[in-house]
Chain A
Amino acid sequence: MDVNVILENIPLYIEGMWVTVQLVVLSLILGLALAVPLALVATSRRRFIAFWPRAYIYFFRGTPLLVQMFMIYHGTAQFDWLKDSALWVVFKEAYWCALIAFALNTAAYTGEMLRGAIAQTPFGEVEAARAYGMSRWTRFRRIILPSACRRALPSYGNEVIFMLHGSALAGVITIVDLFGAAKIVNARHFVPFESFMAAGFFYLCLTLLIVWIFRIAETHWHAYMRPREEEGEEKGSFPARSAPAYAAKGL
Chain B
Amino acid sequence: MSASAEALVVEDLHKSFGSVEVLKGISLVAREHDVVSILGSSGSGKSTLLRCINLLEIPDAGNVYVHGELIRMTTTSGAARVPEDKRQVERMRSRLAMVFQQFNLWSHMTVLQNVIEAPMHVLKVPRAEAVERAESVLQRVDMYERKDYYPAHLSGGQQQRAAIARALAMEPAMMLFDEPTSALDPELVGEVLKVIRGLAEEGRTMLVVTHEMAFARDVSTKVMFLHEGQVEEDGVPAQVFDEPKSARFRQFLAGTLR
Contact = CB atoms under 8 A, between A and B. Distances in A.
A132 B93 contact: yes
A130 B86 CA distance: 11
Contacts of B122: 132-134, 138
Interface in A230-244: 238, 240-241, 243-244
Residue among B91, B150, B166 with the most chain A CB within 10 A?
B150
A243 B54 CA distance: 32
A246 to B, nearest CB: 12
A19 B107 CA distance: 40
Kindly state the interface size class of chain B when it binds its partner.
35 or more
A243 B150 CA distance: 11
Interface stretch (B33-41, B97-105, B225-233): B97-105
Given A131-B56, A224-B152, 8 more contacts: A125-B105, A125-B107, A129-B106, A131-B97, A131-B98, A132-B118, A133-B93, A238-B155
The secondary-structure label for the interface of chain A is helix
Which are the 10 A-B pairs with shortest beta-carbon distances? A133-B94, A238-B155, A124-B104, A224-B150, A128-B104, A132-B118, A133-B93, A228-B153, A131-B98, A133-B90
Nearest to A149: B108
Contact of A147 (B90, B107, B150, B152): B107
A133 B104 contact: no
Interface residues of A, number: 27
Nearest to A123: B104
Contacts of A124: 100, 102-104
Interface of A: 122, 124-125, 127-135, 138, 142-143, 146-147, 150, 223-225, 228, 238, 240-241, 243-244
22 contacts: A124-B100, A124-B103, A127-B56, A128-B100, A128-B104, A128-B106, A131-B56, A131-B97, A132-B117, A132-B122, A132-B170, A133-B91, A133-B92, A134-B118, A138-B121, A142-B117, A142-B121, A147-B106, A224-B110, A224-B152, A224-B153, A225-B152
A122 B86 CA distance: 23
Contacts of B92: 133
A47 to B, nearest CB: 15
Nearest to B157: A238
Nearest to B94: A133
Contacts of B110: 224
A147 B102 CA distance: 18
Contacts of B150: 223-225
A97 to B, nearest CB: 39
B29 interface: no
Interface string B116-138: 01100110000000000000000
A146 B110 CA distance: 13
Contact of B108 (A128, A129, A150): A150
A238 B108 contact: no
A135 B86 contact: yes
A241 to B, nearest CB: 6
A221 to B, nearest CB: 8
Nearest to A139: B121
Contacts of B103: 124
A240 B153 contact: yes
B93 to A, nearest CB: 4
A135 B107 contact: no
Contacts of A225: 107, 150, 152
Contact of B107 (A122, A127, A131, A142): A122
B243 to A, nearest CB: 36
Contacts of B28: none
A244 B152 CA distance: 8
Given A124-B100, A133-B94, A147 B121 contact: no
A127 B150 CA distance: 19
Given A131-B54, A133-B94, A134-B118, A241 B108 contact: no
A124 B110 CA distance: 17
